[in-house]
Amino acid sequence: MNLIETVIKTIEPTLTDMGYELVRVSVQGKELQTLQIMAERIDRKEMGLEDCSKISQTVSALLDVADPFPGKWVLEVSSPGIDRPLVKLADYDRFKGQSAKIELMDEIDGRRRFKGTLKGVKNNTILLDFEGNELELPFDKIQHAKLTLPEEIFNKTKGKK
């Protein structure tokens, strides 16, 4: 089991009991490792500073006991935000109708990067409206994916018409 799997196994049951869903766990750095925990409320209410603080205190205590890190480490806790990563297959159904950027490990029709509207999931395939065509992208070939602001909203925030 690798470090991220160990962290997830250690903290996920407790966070679930507390009313939070683990969105993503990542580890950055070599000498001083930074553990990044992204979570959201199971009830889908907005995450606040108090939520992040509760998660931080709990995760710190759990990992101090489990001690999966060699040496010193730093913990960062956050909520998903506007550019929420799409990690689980269920995310693609949950956010159907929203804009997303998806990057694949390998090319399909000469491309690895796609931006379009999520249309849901069929079997283990993500359905994406890309430039007016419905694409089927294999979930197990996705390297990175996240929600994005629709172009018209993005332009308004930049002062464009």
Mean pLDDT of successive 10-residue segments in the chain (161 residues)? 92 97 92 93 94 97 91 92 91 95 93 96 95 94 91 54 49
Distance between the two ends of the chain, CA-based, in angstroms? 51
Class of domain 89-157: mainly beta
Indicate yes or no: pTM above 0.85.
no
Where do the CATH 3.30.300.70 domains begin and end in the chain?
A: 3-78
E-state strands within 52-160 = 73-78, 99-108, 111-122, 125-130, 133-138, 142-147
pLDDT of residue 1: 75
Neighbours of 76 (CB within 10 A): 13
Where do the CATH 2.30.30.180 domains begin and end in the chain?
A: 89-157
Max alpha carbon distance in the chain (Å)?
54
pLDDT of residue 142: 97
Tally of residues, the chain: 161
Fold adopted by 3-78 = GMP Synthetase; Chain A, domain 3 (3.30.300)
pLDDT of residue 151: 59
pLDDT of residue 69: 86
pLDDT of residue 160: 53
Mutual orientation of helices 49-66 and 3-18 as an angle, nearest 10°?
A: 130
